[in-house]
Amino acid sequence: MKDYLILIAGMGFVTFLPRWFPLFFLSKREIPKLLIEWLDLIPAAILSALLIPALVVGGEPKIMAFKPELLASIPTFLFALKTKSLGGTVVVGMALYWLIGKGLLPFFGL
Amino acid sequence: MRQNNDVRIGASAAWPICLGYIPIGFAFGVLARKAGLTPLQIGMMSVFVFAGSSQFIAVSMLADGASAIAIILTTFMVNLRHLLMSSALAVFFKGEDRKRLSLFAYGVTDESFAVNLARLRDGDWNLNRSLVVNQMANAAWIASTVIGGFGGQFIPEKAFGIDYALIAMFICLLVFQLRGRKYVITAIIAGILAVIFSLLIPGNSYIILASVIAATLGLIFKKYLT
């Protein structure tokens, strides 16, 4: 148990550090305008970098594949674009993915 | 009264994250139990680390008999991407109390980052509400990992498409970010690069690499091509 405590304390420390450093130091400084403009683009970049591989890359070793995640993502994306509702998109996305998993979508001509 | 209000509003923004964490937390708890951890140890890791993908990796490394140093270094690499997220969030918290910012930093995850950033940008958000989002997500993560450790195998896999909750959330959060041509171009570059890098590079460093290059190219595009 002692070894385990050291392990999770170490993991916790190295996880906390990058989360904490910019918030602690950047919030007290003037941030250069160019950096602000760059940081402004970071969320779109990160979200896309997190999302797109989850839709089209699978397997071990990794390969590009046509996944049900991708099929469900198209109507989910359109729903999000139309409604701008986070909760609604989550529920609709889950329902679509579930239906695709059940093989029900062909019955609706999709 | 105002504080109560912040809790209510924060909670209403946090629930999609909590919903998304439940299946992943269960899955983690089940795996960690199989790797020999007790529910107490599982809960403690979720409290100390609170970072899903690195916890999965740590447990599989533990099962393979990896050293603590190797696990800690891997955890650092996997979670380094939060550096970018905290930097983007810091822009909105200028001059805030550093103790509260440190507490907030503990709860910065891919999901809470994206939810808080979208709201901060809309302007009707503050550090209190952001803290509520982080801590609710944190509570959902800790609880679901411990419950998974006690017997997540009894919950049917893929029930009601809940595995898709986080992907659907990211889709909507990405839509929130696409507020102009430069964001769309940056997102397209990041998506293509992330796919290529994820195929070429082991681990998840493709996220940080693709994001940094895409944001830089997006900025160049904005400066010189418009």
Place of tokens 């290059």: B213
DSSP β-bridge partners for residue A64:
A57
Residues in chain A within 8 Å Cβ distance of B70: none
Mean pLDDT of B127-156: 89
How is chain A split into domains, by residue range?
66-110
Q: From the list A18, A80, A101, which residue is nearest B175 (CB)?
A: A80
Per-residue confidence (pLDDT) for residue A53, from 0 to 100: 93
pTM exceeding the 0.90 threshold for the entire prediction: no
Cα separation, B45 vs B40, whole angstroms: 9
- Within the 119-178 window of chain B, which residues sit less than 8 Å (CB to CB) from chain A? 158, 160-165, 167-178
Please tell me the distance from the alpha carbon of residue B21 to that of residue B141, in angstroms, as a whole number. Answer: 6
pLDDT at A58 over 80: yes
- Establish if A75 touches chain B: CB-CB under 8 angstroms: no
Which tops the pLDDT comparison, A25 or A108?
A: A25
User: Cα dist. B67→B29, B60, B73, B96 in Å?
Assistant: 21, 12, 10, 39
- 0.90 surpassed by complex ipTM: no
The string of DSSP codes covering A25-83 is: HHTTSPPPHHHHHHHHHHHHHHHHHHHHHHHHEETTTTEE---HHHHHHHHHHHHHHHH
